[in-house]
Structure 1
Amino acid sequence: MNTFYLENKAVIFDLDGVLLDSAEYHYLAWKKIASELNIHFNRKINHLLRGVSRKESLLIMTHGKIELDEKQITEITTRKNALYLDFVRKAGEKLLFDGINDFLAELRKTPLKLAVSSGSRNAPELIDISGLKKDFFHAVVSGQDFTRSKPDPESFLMAAGKVGINAENCLVIEDAPAGIEAARRARMGTFGVGNAELGSCDIKAESLSLKNVSFIFEYFKNHEV
């Protein structure tokens, strides 16, 4: 297969909900926090938290219900993270969506640059414990590396810079509305996965699998810059 049209192109992956099946563990951790704070929490509210920082998530959950100062916010979000990490460490390699390593291996046969861009400060540890092969990626950007969370495009632009590819030559794979919006603001292509209401995307699929590789090739073939 001639892959010249994939040269100087990049695919940037979100981590939670795209490569790793970690959404349920976020929900369980926030549910425990909500119970401790005696505030109502359900899956509909949890959906609003996808793709945003822990602090912003807590503010969404508690808005108009209780007042928290910065010290309390830090203590609560730190506890939420500890609960989440306890869940995912027990899950281990069960975190990895089926077929992801095969999907990435197929992309690595091409000139495409691959990067992870996650708002999670836990991203390096999640990659380690999940069995996701780190050497598939040319760069990893985590919440430790930037200050402005999605829908700000900072994290995606940083990933593009690390792999040396212009933003307009990047395709972002995301499962959260905030992430899709961040990609749009960065003027990158959008590949939405999962069942969330993501709005208009260049590509959509329920999950990533080998059959989706052709969608990525077709996108870049039709979006020469």
Structure 2
Amino acid sequence: MVEFAAIKGFVFDLDGVITDTSVFHSQAWHQIADKVGVSWDDQLADALKGISRMDSLNLILARGHRENDFTPDQKAALAAEKNTNYLALVNQMTPANILPGITDFLAELQAHGYAMSLASASKNAPLVLSKLGLGHYFTKAVDPATLTHGKPDPEIFRRGAEILNLSPAECIGVEDAAAGVQSINGAGETSIGIGDPTVLAAADINFTDTTQLTLANIQSQLVTA
């Protein structure tokens, strides 16, 4: 594992790390699943975390054995409808929706001169950051429309380091999903997993929640690892 002193930047996922819009995503996807006649459960909801919109739709359709029942245009319309449902919920967000400890951690990183970028599969990330009042921390963000592969492929986190003009070895990636941790590790960055350590066992560092995100805690984990 890399030494703490070598770290110069942090690459963040959005959902489940900076804010929790997963409930909004779930509500919006649940509506689409109902529309196409696919049963919804917690297992399906969890499977959709951290992956792109079209990959999520394809998972839902596959669950109902309906992956071949829709044309590309029909799939695009369903994905757009989900996004409309989701945006109606996102537009109600405020800084109160920032996860505990995140504002302090971002301020700490900025004060200590660390570079920061966003590596979210969500095309709505700029809107979410604006609603949260955190856009000034993330002047560098990966545009998911430019990506060839979704998580768990390492492309998005590799790009997150590139836009900071840093090597992956100089970056820490922060994620709450197993697919995201796999993406960070594949990119060659140090991974922090936020959540259940049994689910995120592949992460280099595990924190159960965002309140534990401090430079001191990260440094102590890298020293003892």
| Global fold match (TM > 0.5) | yes
C-alpha displacement at 1:143, in angstroms? 1.6
- State the TM-score, normalized to the length of structure 1: 0.88
Q: Which residue does 2:155 correspond to in 1? A: 154
Question: What whole-Å deviation, never above 9, does each CA across 1:59-88 have from its counterpart, x for those lacking one?
Answer: 111115222221111000010011111111
Question: What whole-Å deviation, never above 9, does each CA across 1:200-220 have from its counterpart, x for those lacking one?
Answer: 211111222266331223356
Q: What pairs with 1:39-118 in structure 2 (closer than 5 Å)?
A: 39-63=38-62, 64-66=64-66, 67-118=69-120
Q: 1:102 to 1:146 in 2, by over 3 A?
A: same
Q: Which residue does 1:194 correspond to in 2? A: 195
Aligned residue type for 1:177: A
Question: What whole-Å deviation, never above 9, does each CA across 1:167-213 have from its counterpart, x for those lacking one?
Answer: 11211100111111111111111100023712221111122226633
Q: Which residue does 1:180 correspond to in 2? A: 181
- Whether the aligned pair in 2 keeps the contact of 1:103 and 1:210 (CA below 8 Å) is no
Aligned residue type for 1:183: I
Aligned residue type for 1:170: C
- Whether the aligned pair in 2 keeps the contact of 1:177 and 1:198 (CA below 8 Å) is yes
Structure 1 residues without counterparts, runs of 5 or longer: none
C-alpha displacement at 1:47, in angstroms? 0.3
Identity %, equivalent residues: 29
The alignment's C-alpha RMSD in Å is 2.2
Q: 1:136 to 1:222 in 2, by over 3 A?
A: farther
Which stretch of structure 1 is more off in the superposition, 214-223 or 118-127? 214-223
- Whether the aligned pair in 1 keeps the contact of 2:9 and 2:115 (CA below 8 Å) is yes
Question: What whole-Å deviation, never above 9, does each CA across 1:88-144 have from its counterpart, x for those lacking one?
Answer: 112333331133111111121213221111111111111101222x22235211323
Equivalenced residues, count: 219
